[in-house]
Structure 1
Amino acid sequence: MSTVSTTSSATPAATTTVVAAPKTSTTKPVKEPSDGTNIDWAGLIEESVNAKLAKATSIDLKIDANDLKMAAYQDAKNLLSSLQTAANALRAPSGSTARSTDAFLSRSAYLTANGNVNAASVFSATVDPAADQGTYKLEVVQLATAHKISSGTVATKTSDLNITSVISLGVEGGPPSTLSITADMSLMEISEAINKTKASSGVQASIVQVTPNDFRLILTATETGKSITSEVLSGDDALGALGLTNPAGDFATVLQDAQQAIVRVDDLEVTRSSNEISDIITGTTLYLYQATPPGTSITLEVDANVNNVKTAILQLVEAYNAYRDFAVKQQTLPSRTYDPPLFGDGTMRSVNASIGDALATAIGSESMSLLGLTYDNQNKLVIEEDKLDNILLTNLSAVQNLLSFGMTTSNTNIQLLARGSSLPPDFTLDIETDVNGVLTGATVNGQAGLFTVSGSRLVGAAGTAYEGISLVYTGNSPAAVDLSFKTGIAEKLFNAANGATSGSGSLTLLINNLSSQSTEMTKRSDNIRSQAEAYRTTISMRYARYQAAIAQADSMKDYLSTLLDTWNAKS
């Protein structure tokens, strides 16, 4: 026993040094294996975290696939929207606001000279959409001119004229403007003062230099056909002093009289105050440049603008072919170089079928071949322009009948204001009015509740086959009206595209659904990654504690080994 006691007291320093290390060890995040175990702690942590992240990676792949599909759907939607816009110009869209987009309602003015006259030098014309078509013989007898007067000679335009006066200037039929002239005003300053009020007075001023010492103040009415009026209200006779008026108060020098434009339309003489005339032929504006020589006239024909119709057809073909290129690409078999996002997609098959059905439409015996249209080997449209030009010039109504929507009615008192994307079969509308001729209701083939009354309008009830239809009745007595509809190629193409691209369209819904899915999956992926990083922190701290415990055990092992070695050496 005494030997053991002696050995223990002989090694206090060794005991202090060896044991102190495990007591003062702290837990730190794991970086490299430094505990002598050769355990790859960082690798273990990374492997554990990656196992957690595998789910997020799988979700990310689904998001990427969604994004590719959404982008493809959006490309399809954009191309179909272009097709829809092109078709709209040829389908006879409903409503007054759509008239300007209807290619068949576009009008042009055609001028033909009769006699030795250049038609384009006499007048030009612009025509509003849907303007009445017709042919007119026109003669320009005289142009409207603006009243123009001159002052007398003024030696300088910059010196004070020493005139103090208040005058009024205006044109007949309009309120005059008051002008104050002071003694220190020059001819130039008087001209500038007149021009400051020209918007209200209708009189503008300018200065013409005849010789170095001869300046003239020129007053011109801003509108043709109206005479200038003037009056001295107080002070000096400024008008006389400037030589604008003579002692009798009349204008001294009239350079040009106010004159009305005179035009003969089919030998009916009309007079207007302007050379821009928009109220002689409804929907047509004339711009007069010079009078027609005696014995000559110009024929004005207001007719359909076939160039606009042709352009609209070419744009429709271009829009369809652009979409067809996209559709063919999506139908390509997947390969290592390209995997079409929409290969075998059911919605795209449905859209393509609707478009194909639209182009296969026949109205009577006519089909798209009437327009010179055929398919190539990829079902893209090819157009024979000579054939198209010929039918546009010789039978425009046949082209419109093939392409556009149409309604046939047995009563001219009923007109179509609006229509939906689908139409009911032919029906008989029994219109009801009261004793005063006010519209009170209507039944369809004897069935009530399918149309509601709003003033003079009959509106198709929601949820019925007549939803979207709006009719106006201008009669004042009961009537039974037979209605039938036809939908041409452009109308069907529009509806096919609209069914995919509208707010509730098939492609719109798919895009919105995929977007919602991606948003939700992104949240899940982010949540998994956040949890994985939290797990990384937790497991790092846990493994750090393992390392500390192992290090402490190693230290204790070293201490015990040293103790035994010392003990054995003493024994």
Structure 2
Amino acid sequence: MTSVSSSTSSTSTTSSASSSASSVTTTGTTTSTSIDWSALITAAVNAKLELATTISTTITSNEAKVTAYQTLQTDLSTLYGGLSSLATSVVNSLATNAFATRSATLSSTGDVSASSALSMSVSNGAATGGHTLTISQIATAQKVVGTSQSSQTAALGYSGTFSLGLGSGSTADITVTSTMSLQDVVDAVNAQTSTTNVQASIVQVSSGSYEMVLTGTEDAADITYSSTSGDDILNKLGVTDSSGAFTDALQKAQAAEFSLDGISMTRDTNDITDVLSGVTFNLLQATPDGATLNISIGADTSQIESAVETFVTNYNTFRDAVMAQQATASDGTASSSAVLFGDGTMRDIMDALQNALSSTVGGLTMADLGLSFNENNELELDTSTLSGILSTNLSGVTTLLSAQTKASSSQLSVVNTGTSPQSFTLDLTVDSSGNLTSASVGGDSSLFTISGTTIIGNAGTAYAGMAFTYSGTTSQSITVTSTSGIATQLYQIAKTYSSSSGALQTLITNLQDRDNVLQQKVDDIESAATAYQTQLQTQYANYQAAIESANNTLTYLKALLNSSSSN
């Protein structure tokens, strides 16, 4: 990089000879232009880094694929999450699927407003059907009042202790001193309400006229009272007479009396929860003679409609993500953003979903629900068609969409089918006392857990999510048969592919593992390049120092030669 040349003529003693006897040429910093050491080093190091750049491009491409796979994974998770309420159809109080939801309508016959006489709520799985209800009387709590007092804050001057309670429940002693006012007595009673179930209040009848009211907090139970020492406080306040009986009962304690479908019943509360399973009645007022309340309990089909609409939205979101990965440029090649163009797993998922959508189950297809593909191959829903078939053939829709599980014996009741229903023979063993001891399939008893009469499929097995109850008292083998509707099939496909052990996650993990290996190579190359750069900087610094030293020597020799010539 630095050339130094010299030519020396034959020795001469003349001045001109001496002047031309030596010629030195250098590219060093002293007599010529400087070498751009930095440019040389950069070029050499960049040559080393070219492979790292190529590898980094591969890493970036892989990261784009990972992001695309994760989008598909997320969209599939959303899809199967939205399908969960359609994938099963077991009807019981614990069921959360759309087919188990219930709604109730009230109407009346005769001179009564249904909403004024009754309110009600219906739980999932309640039996559907119609009922008639009449209310003879509603349950009430006892309420008594004392005589007028001139002040609610002035000291009463009474001193004594009395016992207060409700029905056969707990009682509490309440002590009154002579300095206590009517308000103080009320406060003392209310301080014990959690024990006595009796509340006190003050009613201002008019200016300078106050009366204490005692009310039971539970219906159909009488207030109990006794004076235990000192003044008879409630008698002094006019609540009781000399015999201890209440002087003025504003409301008597009574039970609710009503008739459901012609069956007369009595309850100590207006909140009736034990007449129809899953149904709560709140009795508000008695119905007049000849008037009835008409109750209709049915499936809440609006929940099914909403779930189907959600499915359409979620399916199209996933499909749009797939289509984005199949986009082409103007020349017919894959678009630069379509990093999964031609991906086999993505194609397999779409094929599986579309095959499920084209299924016929129970003689019905998705077209019967009002589902169809538009010109862009997106799902569309005709809500009027869906509403129509839900009102005329709910059982058919249930079979078309959801999992169905049946047992060959009425002694085995299906509690839950799970979202991956199976068909199998369940071998049940009962001991000599009639207790269920095991449930097995093909001799394997580790697949189910027994809890009393309940049989639960264990997590991690094919039977996870399935549950049964057994009412039999003898050992037997029962055939369990399951079918999968469209929603169940779609649910299983979406969940399987998007799970932490599914095909998409495998692809993601493999790419991330590959990127880790490639990144390590990049790091190694960059580390080696940095070391190489340091080596070159040291080496070229030595070159520069040598050149500068040589230039200094040449300068000295020239000065020496010139000095000799001049002599």
Fold conserved (TM > 0.5)? Answer: yes
| Matching residue's letter, 2:492 | N
Closer, same or farther: CA 242–86 of 1 in aligned 2, 3 Å: same
Aligned match of 1:387 in 385, 399, 407?
385
| Matching residue's letter, 1:367 | T
1:83 aligns with 2:79: yes
Deviations 1:46-83 (A, max 9, x none): 23333343343333323322322222222212221221
1:224 aligns with 2:225: no
| Matching residue's letter, 2:242 | P
Percent identity reads 36
Closer, same or farther: CA 252–436 of 1 in aligned 2, 3 Å: closer
Counterpart in 1 of 2:554?
Answer: 557
Q: What SS does structure 2 have at the residue aligned with 1:105?
A: coil
Closer, same or farther: CA 230–66 of 1 in aligned 2, 3 Å: farther
Closer, same or farther: CA 66–244 of 1 in aligned 2, 3 Å: farther
Aligned match of 2:541 in 536, 539, 544?
544
Counterpart in 2 of 1:401?
Answer: 399
Q: What SS does structure 1 have at the residue aligned with 2:52?
A: helix
| Matching residue's letter, 1:159 | A
Q: Post-superposition shift, 1:547?
A: 1.9
State the alpha-carbon separation in 2 of the partners of residues 115 and 367 from structure 1. Answer: 45
State the alpha-carbon separation in 1 of the partners of residues 32 and 234 from structure 2. Answer: 117
Counterpart in 1 of 2:16?
Answer: none
Q: Post-superposition shift, 1:431?
A: 5.8
Q: What SS does structure 1 have at the residue aligned with 2:274?
A: coil
- 2:89–2:98 CA contact under 8 A, matched in 1: no
Counterpart in 1 of 2:201?
Answer: 206
- 1:333–1:339 CA contact under 8 A, matched in 2: no
State the alpha-carbon separation in 2 of the partners of residues 198 and 35 from structure 1. Answer: 110
Closer, same or farther: CA 559–137 of 1 in aligned 2, 3 Å: same
Aligned match of 1:73 in 59, 69, 75?
69
State the alpha-carbon separation in 1 of the partners of residues 247 and 469 from structure 2. Answer: 62
Closer, same or farther: CA 452–433 of 1 in aligned 2, 3 Å: farther
State the alpha-carbon separation in 2 of the partners of residues 440 and 337 from structure 1. Answer: 62
Counterpart in 1 of 2:563?
Answer: 566
Trace 1:1-80 onto structure 2 (pairs within 5 A): 37-80=33-76
Closer, same or farther: CA 562–205 of 1 in aligned 2, 3 Å: farther
| Matching residue's letter, 1:283 | G
Deviations 1:133-191 (A, max 9, x none): 23221011112222222232222222233333333332113212333333333322333
Counterpart in 2 of 1:353?
Answer: 351
Q: Which moved more, 1:394-403 or 1:48-57?
A: 48-57
- 2:440–2:447 CA contact under 8 A, matched in 1: no
Q: What SS does structure 2 have at the residue aligned with 1:298?
A: strand
1:112 aligns with 2:110: no
| Matching residue's letter, 1:549 | A
Aligned match of 2:116 in 112, 118, 121?
121
- 2:80–2:491 CA contact under 8 A, matched in 1: yes
1:362 aligns with 2:360: yes
What RMSD over aligned residues (CA atoms) do the two structures have, in Å?
Answer: 3.2
Q: What SS does structure 2 have at the residue aligned with 1:155?
A: coil
Closer, same or farther: CA 198–63 of 1 in aligned 2, 3 Å: farther
- Consecutive unaligned residues in structure 1, runs of 5 or more: 1-32
State the alpha-carbon separation in 1 of the partners of residues 456 and 293 from structure 2. Answer: 47
Q: What SS does structure 2 have at the residue aligned with 1:103?
A: coil
Counterpart in 2 of 1:27?
Answer: none
- 1:449–1:461 CA contact under 8 A, matched in 2: no
Closer, same or farther: CA 568–340 of 1 in aligned 2, 3 Å: same
Q: What SS does structure 2 have at the residue aligned with 1:152?
A: coil
1:507 aligns with 2:504: yes
1:493 aligns with 2:490: yes
Aligned match of 1:304 in 299, 302, 308?
299
Q: What SS does structure 2 have at the residue aligned with 1:382?
A: strand
In the superposition, the TM-score normalised over structure 1's length comes to 0.84
Q: What SS does structure 1 have at the residue aligned with 2:35?
A: coil
| Matching residue's letter, 1:559 | Y
| Matching residue's letter, 1:366 | L
Q: Post-superposition shift, 1:418?
A: 5.9
- 1:147–1:226 CA contact under 8 A, matched in 2: yes
- 1:409–1:483 CA contact under 8 A, matched in 2: yes
- 1:35–1:547 CA contact under 8 A, matched in 2: no
Q: Which moved more, 1:469-478 or 1:49-58?
A: 469-478
Aligned match of 2:167 in 161, 169, 172?
172
Closer, same or farther: CA 169–310 of 1 in aligned 2, 3 Å: same
Counterpart in 2 of 1:274?
Answer: 269
Deviations 1:208-242 (A, max 9, x none): 22222112222222222222223333333222233
Q: Post-superposition shift, 1:561?
A: 1.6
State the alpha-carbon separation in 1 of the partners of residues 281 and 160 from structure 2. Answer: 43
Closer, same or farther: CA 205–442 of 1 in aligned 2, 3 Å: closer
- 1:441–1:452 CA contact under 8 A, matched in 2: no
State the alpha-carbon separation in 1 of the partners of residues 288 and 501 from structure 2. Answer: 63
Trace 1:184-263 onto structure 2 (pairs within 5 A): 184-263=179-258
Closer, same or farther: CA 338–170 of 1 in aligned 2, 3 Å: farther
| Matching residue's letter, 1:413 | Q
State the alpha-carbon separation in 2 of the partners of residues 457 and 249 from structure 1. Answer: 56
Q: What SS does structure 2 have at the residue aligned with 1:90?
A: helix
- 1:35–1:550 CA contact under 8 A, matched in 2: no
Counterpart in 2 of 1:343?
Answer: 341
Q: Post-superposition shift, 1:417?
A: 5.5
Q: Post-superposition shift, 1:419?
A: 5.8
Q: What SS does structure 2 have at the residue aligned with 1:497?
A: helix
Closer, same or farther: CA 94–394 of 1 in aligned 2, 3 Å: closer
Deviations 1:444-476 (A, max 9, x none): 7xx655986754677889999878866654433
State the alpha-carbon separation in 2 of the partners of residues 474 and 549 from structure 1. Answer: 102
Deviations 1:247-291 (A, max 9, x none): 221223322222222221112222222221111111100122221
State the alpha-carbon separation in 1 of the partners of residues 438 and 335 from structure 2. Answer: 64
Deviations 1:312-356 (A, max 9, x none): 222222221222222222221256975212221111111111111
Trace 1:138-149 onto structure 2 (pairs within 5 A): 138-149=133-144
Q: Post-superposition shift, 1:296?
A: 0.7
- Consecutive unaligned residues in structure 2, runs of 5 or more: 1-28
Q: Post-superposition shift, 1:197?
A: 2.9
State the alpha-carbon separation in 1 of the partners of residues 30 and 150 from structure 2. Answer: 110
Closer, same or farther: CA 470–128 of 1 in aligned 2, 3 Å: closer
Q: Post-superposition shift, 1:204?
A: 2.2
- 2:142–2:221 CA contact under 8 A, matched in 1: yes
Closer, same or farther: CA 510–231 of 1 in aligned 2, 3 Å: farther
| Matching residue's letter, 1:39 | I
Q: Post-superposition shift, 1:489?
A: 0.4
State the alpha-carbon separation in 2 of the partners of residues 460 and 211 from structure 1. Answer: 70
State the alpha-carbon separation in 2 of the partners of residues 35 and 178 from structure 1. Answer: 118
State the alpha-carbon separation in 2 of the partners of residues 147 and 342 from structure 1. Answer: 76
Q: Post-superposition shift, 1:104?
A: 0.8
Q: Post-superposition shift, 1:481?
A: 4.0
Q: Post-superposition shift, 1:203?
A: 2.0
| Matching residue's letter, 1:53 | L
Counterpart in 2 of 1:14?
Answer: none
Q: What SS does structure 1 have at the residue aligned with 2:561?
A: helix
- 1:334–1:340 CA contact under 8 A, matched in 2: no
- 1:442–1:448 CA contact under 8 A, matched in 2: no
- 1:440–1:453 CA contact under 8 A, matched in 2: no
State the alpha-carbon separation in 1 of the partners of residues 425 and 554 from structure 2. Answer: 106
State the alpha-carbon separation in 2 of the partners of residues 261 and 64 from structure 1. Answer: 74
Counterpart in 2 of 1:319?
Answer: 314
Q: Post-superposition shift, 1:310?
A: 1.6
| Matching residue's letter, 1:110 | T
Counterpart in 1 of 2:260?
Answer: 265
State the alpha-carbon separation in 1 of the partners of residues 158 and 488 from structure 2. Answer: 74
